Amino acid sequence: MKKTVQIVALLMLVLMLIAIRVFVQPYFYDPLIDYFKSDYLSKPIPQINFKLFFLNLLYRYSLNSTISLAIIYLVFKNIKTLMFSLKIYIIAFVVLCMILLLLLKYNLNLDYQLIFYVRRFLIHPIFLLILLPAFYYQQLKTRKVRFKK
């Protein structure tokens, strides 16, 4: 793929991530958005329809993950890197959803920030910001090893 096409594709994918963040908020069921925007330290956690909430989390996480995986593939053009990233995304979703469910369902809200950040990892493409530099660093280390031989 030509460099210009790759850059345009990357820009479009990043714009898609921004669009998900900015424009589709009214389309997702998330009562915690208003809760964390208000004085959440003095209020109890709102009532949550857990099925609808986690279905919307899955949908939003899937959108962000698909776009993030496309970005990772465009940058590194390596199927092994893509498959490893996919496994990380799947495992992270399962683990983070279980943690969030426990925190919300059993009122383990001793630390509201924990709920905030676990939810944030699920609704924002934070793993992309972690994985891109990690894979880039790994790629640099691999090149140095090859050149030493």
| pLDDT, tens digit (0-9, with 9 covering 90-100), for 81-137 | 999 999 999 999 999 999 988 888 887 656 677 888 888 899 889 999 999 999 999
Secondary structure letter of residue 23 according to DSSP: H
Q: What pTM was estimated for this model as a whole?
A: 0.85
Separation of alpha carbons 147 and 54, rounded Å: 48
pLDDT for 70 equals: 97
Helices then strands, counting H and E runs in the chain, come out as 6, 0
Q: Give the span between the Cα atoms of 101 and 93, in whole angstroms.
A: 12
The number of distinct structural domains making up the chain is 1
Tokens coding 36: 């964390």
Q: What angle do CA 42, 44, 50 make, to 5 degrees?
A: 150
Distant-in-sequence, close-in-space partners of 135: CB < 8 Å, separation ≥ 6? 72, 75, 76, 81, 85
Structure-model confidence comparison of residues 47 and 40, the more confident one = 47
> Range of 130's domain?
3-148
pLDDT band at 148; cut points 50, 70, 90: low
Dist. CA 147–CA 149, nearest whole Å: 6
Q: pLDDT tens, 50-88?
A: 898 899 899 999 999 999 999 999 999 999 999 999 999
pLDDT of res. 93: 96
